[in-house]
Amino acid sequence: MNKADYCFVCGKENPIGLKVDIQVEEGKAWFYFYPKKEYEGWEGIVHGGIISSLLDEAMVWACKYYGVDVVTGELKVRYVSPFYLKYEKVFVEGRIIKHKGPLFLGEGEVLTEDRIVIARAWSKMVKK
């Protein structure tokens, strides 16, 4: 069993997980997310906790490009527009904007297919 098999966002063995398929390249990680009614907060809108989890995961995985595993020390999310369940899929990307020693700074965003920004995030992550 892989150490991330039960990760809520990327784990393929987690029966209630999101099971996203993450791609890593050149200091960034990205994936598509397909919302379901089960992820609803307010009627017809994806819960903010799901959005922040997606952003956190993208930035953590962006560190894999540098060959390190990290934990998030700080996460700041700016919700820009509602994530309506009517969107069939969204694009999530996390990037490393700076790293020195064990500290990695990331930024990320969630976008609709029409490039509407749903949320932006910034994180401080530390090598495990």
**Where residue 106 sits, what CATH number does that domain have?**
3.10.129.10
Residue type at 94 in one-letter notation: G
User: For the segment 80-125, what is each residue's pLDDT rounded down to a tens digit?
Assistant: 999 999 999 999 999 999 999 999 999 999 999 999 999 999 999 9
Is residue 6 one of the residues assigned to a domain?
no
Is residue 99 one of the residues assigned to a domain?
yes
Task: State pTM to two decimals.
Answer: 0.95
Window from 2-6, 114-118, 124-128 with minimum mean pLDDT: 2-6
Is residue 75 one of the residues assigned to a domain?
yes
With 60 as the cut, is the pLDDT of residue 31 above it? yes
Is residue 37 one of the residues assigned to a domain?
yes
Is residue 123 one of the residues assigned to a domain?
yes
Burial class (CB in 10 A: 0-12, 13-18, 19+), 1: exposed
What is the domain range of residue 123?
Answer: 25-127
With 90 as the cut, is the pLDDT of residue 34 above it? yes
Q: What is the CA radius of gyration of the chain?
A: 14
The mean of the pLDDT values for the chain is 95
Give the number of domains in the chain.
1
